[in-house]
Chains A and B, each alone.
Chain A
Amino acid sequence: SQKIEQNSEALNIQEGKTATLTCNYTNYSPAYLQWYRQDPGRGPVFLLLIRENEKEKRKERLKVTFDTTLKQSLFHITASQPADSATYLCALPPPGSGGYNKLIFGAGTRLAVHP
């Protein structure tokens, strides 16, 4: 079955540094991968989508890479700010779900940016 792995331990970094979060998956190659942000007491919020034929996608201070050989996506936040502190989840479609928007989510990595 499909398995998604994200760092379970919190990532603590200093303001201004680049945060890098990892999402590894096994057993198949998804057509795309999404990243979401979740703040305490709130639902996840969509950030970025990257497709299998795209190596990199950028949005403001965010950058996502997708390495289908390594079966890994990296999520970068440059010039991090305390307001970036949240849990970040990766999500991808399970096998056989084409056209139905179904996603399975990783457990998420909590990011804490310290002033």
Chain B
Amino acid sequence: AQSVSQHNHHVILSEAASLELGCNYSYGGTVNLFWYVQYPGQHLQLLLKYFSGDPLVKGIKGFEAEFIKSKFSFNLRKPSVQWSDTAEYFCAVSILTGGGNKLTFGTGTQLKVEL
């Protein structure tokens, strides 16, 4: 079964600092990769997704992620964070085996951005 690891559980940054959140998955086949964000009191929203093609994907609010197949990684980055980026971030994997829409999530990273 596939699994997803997020290395950082809590991250505290100052505004304008750069962000990189790690995500590794364990599955040898074809995968779809996602980053979701959950702002305080709000529901899960999709930040960005990778299905195929260019391994560097850009999402909403200035976020981007790079898929490195050889490292089974899909790290999330943002050059300059804002206070409004305070939220919980989840990496997720969906495998393409005809098994339907099962997303396997990482444990999440709680990001706090201080003014």
Tell me, yes or no, whether A binds B: no
Interface residues of A (CB under 8 A from B): none
